[in-house]
A and B are shown apart, each in its own frame.
Chain A
Amino acid sequence: EPEVTQTPSHQVTQMGQEVILRCVPISNHLYFYWYRQILGQKVEFLVSFYNNEISEKSEIFDDQFSVERPDGSNFTLKIRSTKLEDSAMYFCASSDPGSIFQETQYFGPGTRLLVL
């Protein structure tokens, strides 16, 4: 069964450093998403991406964040200058609006980011 994959599974970085989180969405999917979950808190939407541009973004997704689909398979989330409060699990998701499931989002296993 196709699945969303994410790398790395864990990342530790120093405050102020740039990090890039990588995702490989399900191959025939057209919409891509990033969510995050701070430890003990709710899953929060960050951004959605379609046709090489952002479809929707939340207030969390400020100028420190950017997304890119550098090739036909990867989808990345970049945090330019990490802050302590960026420590969280980051989940990538993808969906195929043309499927019989009427745009169901499928999530990857997540990347646990720890900013020191």
Chain B
Amino acid sequence: DAKTTQPPSMDCAEGRAANLPCNHSTISGNEYVYWYRQIHSQGPQYIIHGLKNNETNEMASLIITEDRKSSTLILPHATLRDTAVYYCIVRVFNNAGNMLTFGGGTRLMVKP
């Protein structure tokens, strides 16, 4: 699976959009971008994933650049409960049974 690079930490004001970047310049054509988050030692929580088109669900939006070498997770109206470590993970499509490789992630602090 391709390696990802994320900033170690970010701050965001409550109610504002949080934009979390991820670089995955070595991504292959069959690799998806997945985002998970971990709130204070709880189990990682799935957020969203995508291949090349932008994706949106009830939690977040995922913007993937046209060359697929980077992506941005957007939390449109961050709340204090969104304070967590956010992980960007690249893995092969439908590679069921294979591991998720977690990096250091981005520690997002949402401030009042």
Contacts and interface: CB of A to CB of B under 8 A. Distances in A.
A64 to B, nearest CB: 19
Nearest to B99: A45
Interface residues of A, number: 29
Contacts of A105: 46, 100
Contacts, number: 63
Contacts of A43: 38, 44, 87, 100, 102
Contacts of A4: 43
A18 interface: no
B94 A102 contact: yes
B43 A31 contact: no
Q: Give the interface SS of chain B, mostly helix, strand, loop or mixed.
A: loop
B107 interface: no
A110 interface: yes
Contact of B41 (A89, A97, A101, A102): A89
Contact of B43 (A45, A55, A97, A110): A110
Interface string B35-66: 00010011111100100000000000000000
A49 to B, nearest CB: 8
B95 A103 contact: yes
Nearest to A109: B43
7 contacts: A33-B99, A48-B99, A97-B97, A102-B32, A104-B34, A107-B43, A107-B44
